[in-house]
């Protein structure tokens, strides 16, 4: 029991300071990515849902932590689309129930791990597919493609363009 409880104590960690330049480029990327998605949603796809809450978390990863494995393009795109599809399947089989929500998240985690495409916002996309309400439910099997797939592609293009403007940044690390 002592060993088990000892694991919860954690260990001290020395955190590197984020410089103002890195923070600035993260802000530029996050602002540009969300602005483009919001503009597309309002101006071009006004009848379609394009803004999804999981995109906020994706922004943190691809613009503020672009070196993270979770931020790499294959993880962002395939992890999100796979998870969204799992969420749609759970909703269609079980409705918007607590069991369906739990299955959507847990099965998306399992699916992303098995396909080596873990992207934490993907689990949020799965949860939104079940609990997102009528505007999400009416999209049905389109939800993984539009907004999740299309929005992920837009954000990835902007991440590639913006993150590589700074001399000290490189994105992606791998595809």
pLDDT digits (tens, 9 = 90+) for 80-90: 999 999 999 99
Which residue range forms the structural domain that includes residue 33?
21-165
pLDDT digits (tens, 9 = 90+) for 18-72: 889 999 999 999 999 999 999 988 877 666 667 899 999 999 999 999 999 999 9
Domain contains 172:
no
Domain contains 54:
yes
- pLDDT category at 4 given cuts 50, 70, 90 is confident
Encoded tokens for 138: 């009416």
- pLDDT category at 16 given cuts 50, 70, 90 is confident
What end-to-end distance do the CA atoms of the chain give, in Å? 43
Distances (CA, A) of 139 to 50, 129, 130, 132, 133: 11, 9, 12, 11, 10
Domain contains 7:
no
d(C-alpha 86, C-alpha 80), whole Å: 10
Domain contains 171:
no
**Range 104-125 burial, b when 16+ CB lie within 10 A, else e:** bbebbbebbeeeebbbbbbbbb
Query: Max alpha carbon distance in the chain (Å)?
Result: 59
Identify the pLDDT of residue 18: 81
Say whether pLDDT at 74 is over 90: yes
pLDDT digits (tens, 9 = 90+) for 128-167: 999 999 989 999 999 999 899 999 999 999 999 999 998 8
Domain contains 2:
no
Please tell me the total count of domains within the chain: 1
Domain contains 64:
yes
d(C-alpha 160, C-alpha 173), whole Å: 10
């Amino acid at each position: 029991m002592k060993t088990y409880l000892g694991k919860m104590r954690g260990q001290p960690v020395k955190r590197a300071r984020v410089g103002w330049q890195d923070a600035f480029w993260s802000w530029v990327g996050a602002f540009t990515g969300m602005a483009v998605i919001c503009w597309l949603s309002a101006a071009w796809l006004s009848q379609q849902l394009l803004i999804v809450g999981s995109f906020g978390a994706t922004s943190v990863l691809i613009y503020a932590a672009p070196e993270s494995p979770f931020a790499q393009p294959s993880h962002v795109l395939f992890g999100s689309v796979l998870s969204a599809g799992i969420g749609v399947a759970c909703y269609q089989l079980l409705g918007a129930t607590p069991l369906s929500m739990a299955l959507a998240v847990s099965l998306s985690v399992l699916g992303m791990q098995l396909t080596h495409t873990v992207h934490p916002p993907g689990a949020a996309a799965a949860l939104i597919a079940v609990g997102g309400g009528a505007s999400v439910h009416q999209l049905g099997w389109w939800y993984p493609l539009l907004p999740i797939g299309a929005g992920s592609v837009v954000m990835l293009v902007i991440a590639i363009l913006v993150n590589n403007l700074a001399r000290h940044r490189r994105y992606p690390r791998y595809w």
